[in-house]
Structure 1
Amino acid sequence: MSDPAHSQPSFSSAPADGLHGSARAWATFAVSLSVLLALLDYAIANVALPDIAVDLKASASSSIWVVNAYQLASLVSLLPLAALGSKVGFARLCRVGIVIFMASSLLCAMATSLPILAGARAVQGIGGACIMSVNIALVRFIYPHAEIGRGIALNGVVVAVGVALGPTAAAGILSIASWPWLFWINLPLGALALFMAFKALPQVPRSTQKTDVTGSALCVLALGALVMGGDGLAHRSGWMMSVALLVFGVACGWLLVRRERGVEQPILPVDLLGKPDFTVAFVTGCLGFVASNFYIVSMPFTLHDELGLGSALTGLLITPWPIGIMCAAPIVRRVADSVSAGVLSSIGLAVTATGFLLLWLLPAHPSVFDIVWRTWIAGWGFGFFQPPNNRAMMVSASHARAGGASGMVQVARQAGQAIGAMGVAAFFVQFAHEGPRNCLIAGACVAITAAALSASRLIQRV
């Protein structure tokens, strides 16, 4: 008699091998539009922080919670929502996420104080996590197994476009309207995304397993405490409380791992992390985003403070990064399904590290072109690394575990971004004026480490 704790999860129907023709095109558009909605708003508020602080009579430091509340809520809810998506259906959770996102955008636009705005942004982060936790799982069901790499590469382009358009869209809106319009604009875009989600997203098999409320709570507590404790140490503020939060987070994480062992559909996918291929891809992805955030967070300070460039030009000189990612997409789409991630991702990370080193070696008075081509190289490498590595995570999991794998792809991204941001803060505190430039060296070192780990996949395991 089989042990129910180790039996295979039950699903309502067998999955088909992808969509075809116009059905695939419309479903891909629906996923892309929902991802764009979530990512555009992730960065759109950054540009408006000074205006928000003045208008809501808040300090500059406290206004950062407009950004932090979104990121923290999104990160801690990703894995529980990915597990929920396997139960209620990935398409349904995506639609729910869009509705939450639109409702919280309305609250953000109408906020009259910083606590209300930060709270609404936290709810918005949960809505964004509903979308992001299942988007790659949906891609897996939209594309046939042999073409998953193409779908993930296209998804990576949409992510890059969303990140790139955030500051640009914010600058355009703020030039003609006040900051609440950064959130009002989500309503028509969200309505279109919701219409497409109902029209085109495929219905996929659903798990019949009972929801693990305790596991979800432990996951939220563990990730939340670790991020807040690490952020406190990076900023050297309240170190005793920060250490206490880290210890509490580790304890919750230990309890979570013990609880999830042997569970059919664990909140923390310990079953997937037990697979070497999945674990190497997950850690490689996390390190890749640590490296990228060392650049993304610190480079504006290098351009603005060290080189004396204006805010508008600084924003434009960051743009070659996502353009490089998009330029890599046509190539990586053709080879992601036929060439090992150990080869492609290692090459991409090595190219990214080279771009960071070239930026570190900028002359004292560089031209615009000097900055642009170096940044483009780094972005191209990152675009070449990410889709094959994400594909490796997804194909190492069964269809039954697509939700958990999709959630972990996003955890790798957001955890890496959070750790990278903490690293930048620590470098700024430690090295003062040399901090931004030293961050480029740190980013290059992390990227090389990730490239070496990625290349370890080429070693045959006995």
Structure 2
Amino acid sequence: MSRLFETRPGDDGLPGPERRLAVLALILGTLMSVVDATMINIALPSIAADLGVSASRVVWVTNLFQVVCAAFLLVFAALSELVSRRRLYAAGVALFTLASLGSALSSSLESLLVFRALQGLGAAATLSIGPSLYRTIFPSRLLGSALGLSALVVAGGYAAGPAIGGLVLSVARWPWLFALHVPLGLCAAVLAWRVLPREAGRGGGFDWRGALCSVAMLGGLFLAMDGIGHGAPSWQPLAWGACGLMAGHLFLRRQRRASHPLLPLSLFAQRRFSLAVSASGLAFVGQGLTFVALSFLYQQEMAFSPLETAWLFTPWPLTIMVVGPLAGRLADRLNPSLLSSAGLGLLLLGLASLALLDATASVADCLWRTALCGLGFGLFQPPNNREMMTSVPPARSANASGVMSTIRTVGQSLGVALVGAFLAAGTSVQATLWVGVLTTGLSLLASLARVPLAGRARREAMCAALPGASSRSD
């Protein structure tokens, strides 16, 4: 870990001491958003009982946060270019913190939902530009290691969320889950404002019409997928999906004409970037689908309790926490696309082994298969994220970061929706798990297609870095 904060002559990014504080600000901001996403789910029954509302209404405490966060990721990534990433990140943490305090003080479902929507806005601001800030804080030679650290933080947050929620609820009421964010958020906001790199905004206009189309597109598609995943009447997801697709069509038309597009479509002309995005989206579909399908398999067919099911999932994020930083370091030295492809191969094997589980499988059988999935995903994600960030010019880092966060959120949500759709159609859980194997296989094909491109880019960068060497291409 100390290697991340060493400074060498000629390094870009922040000096070592400032780098430590900047990373701490990013870790605190990311942890609050990620832990919240899984911690609050544990408290939904308690919230419903205290506020006197039904289970069908209280789920919007989680859903509204997710919808708002997903809908505004691209908007805030583009807005950060106008107002600077430091200002937007600090403002996002501050908004999330104030909204957490409002949630803790809420005495009705309506007021809680308002503050949960504001929390979603704050989370979108931080999650959309967090990866691009790593590119500014760390020198290029350490970017893979830095993104490995980011993967560790996210995986640790997802793993710790349910445990933290259960621990707090065992000694206090649900408002304390939100109140926990307040002191951490204040520290993170002050740190972000003082130590994150200062940069001037680009000036010029902002694509407000594109922003409205983006929010409508992502919000509509997310609500459609959520409706499918939760068994809503068929007309609801169809209506939301149609609205999302129509808004998506208008969004693409707007991006081709806007002087300052919200999402420059030229990004996707870079094959390394577009293939990395495709690999990421398909892998997250497989992950989201597997998590939900396994819950049904463990509890309904293998008769494990909810608590036992939660423990059976832990090898996945815990393995990512161990492997992610190592994969990031390797990505700084080796072809990152090759590493990502190797990780996807292991993930594919792990998912196939889970799909072959039967009702008589032992706990050990479940654990090693889940750990294999975590090993593969941990080896895949940091190098793939490095490819997404380095395959675009530094000036487009915020846009790439927004795409990275959006494709992760949409991919996981689509995976959840597919489980609901297949189970509603009478498909078995094991057959549904094979759909995750299929999407991961497609992700592997996309990753393999960019191996020679990444290798050529790496050789050119090494040649350009040699003293007195002229640029050359193979």
Could you tell me the TM-score, scaled by structure 1's length?
Answer: 0.91
Counterpart CA distance in 2 for 1:151 and 1:459 is 24
Counterpart CA distance in 2 for 1:325 and 1:155 is 11
| SS of equivalent residue, structure 2 residue 425 | helix
- C-alpha root-mean-square deviation of aligned residues, in Å? 2.0
The farther-off stretch of 324-333 and 126-135 is 324-333
Counterpart CA distance in 2 for 1:235 and 1:314 is 20
Q: Give the residue type in structure 2 aligned to 1:48.
A: A
Q: CA deviation at 1:163?
A: 0.8
Q: Does 1:203 align with 2:168?
A: no
Q: CA deviation at 1:229?
A: 2.7
- Which of residues 318, 327, 331 is equivalent to 1:323? 318
Q: Give the residue type in structure 1 aligned to 2:270.
A: K
Q: Does 1:167 align with 2:162?
A: yes
Counterpart CA distance in 2 for 1:209 and 1:271 is 19
Judged with a 3 Å threshold, the aligned counterparts in structure 2 of structure 1 residues 331 and 177 are, in CA distance, closer, same or farther, namely same
Q: Give the residue type in structure 1 aligned to 2:314.
A: T
Q: Give the residue type in structure 1 aligned to 2:327.
A: V
Q: Give the residue type in structure 1 aligned to 2:135.
A: R
* Deviation string, structure 1 residues 46-81 (Cα, Å, up to 9, x no partner): 111122222222222222211111111001000111
Q: CA deviation at 1:253?
A: 1.3
Report the counterpart of residue 397 of structure 1 in structure 2: 392
Q: Does 1:353 align with 2:356?
A: no
Counterpart CA distance in 2 for 1:372 and 1:74 is 32
Q: Does 1:113 align with 2:113?
A: no
Report the counterpart of residue 375 of structure 2 in structure 1: 380
- Which of residues 133, 154, 161 is equivalent to 2:128? 133
- Which of residues 426, 434, 440 is equivalent to 1:431? 426
Counterpart CA distance in 2 for 1:167 and 1:235 is 21
Counterpart CA distance in 1 for 2:200 and 2:387 is 22
Matching of residues 3-402 of structure 1 within 5 Å: 17-235=12-230, 237-261=232-256, 263=258, 265-402=260-397
Q: Runs of 5+ in structure 1 lacking a partner?
A: 1-15
Q: CA deviation at 1:406?
A: 0.8
Counterpart CA distance in 1 for 2:102 and 2:338 is 46
Counterpart CA distance in 2 for 1:139 and 1:337 is 14
Counterpart CA distance in 1 for 2:178 and 2:357 is 38
Contact 2:228 2:418 in 1 (8 A): no
| SS of equivalent residue, structure 1 residue 338 | coil
Contact 2:337 2:451 in 1 (8 A): yes
Report the counterpart of residue 447 of structure 2 in structure 1: 454
The farther-off stretch of 43-52 and 241-250 is 241-250
Contact 1:325 1:380 in 2 (8 A): yes
Q: Give the residue type in structure 2 aligned to 1:212.
A: D
Could you tell me the TM-score, scaled by structure 2's length?
Answer: 0.89
Report the counterpart of residue 3 of structure 1 in structure 2: none
What is the number of equivalent residue pairs in this alignment? 445
Q: Give the residue type in structure 2 aligned to 1:251.
A: M
| SS of equivalent residue, structure 1 residue 261 | helix
The farther-off stretch of 398-407 and 363-372 is 363-372
Counterpart CA distance in 2 for 1:369 and 1:275 is 44
Contact 1:109 1:180 in 2 (8 A): yes
Q: Give the residue type in structure 1 aligned to 2:86.
A: A
Judged with a 3 Å threshold, the aligned counterparts in structure 2 of structure 1 residues 264 and 21 are, in CA distance, closer, same or farther, namely farther
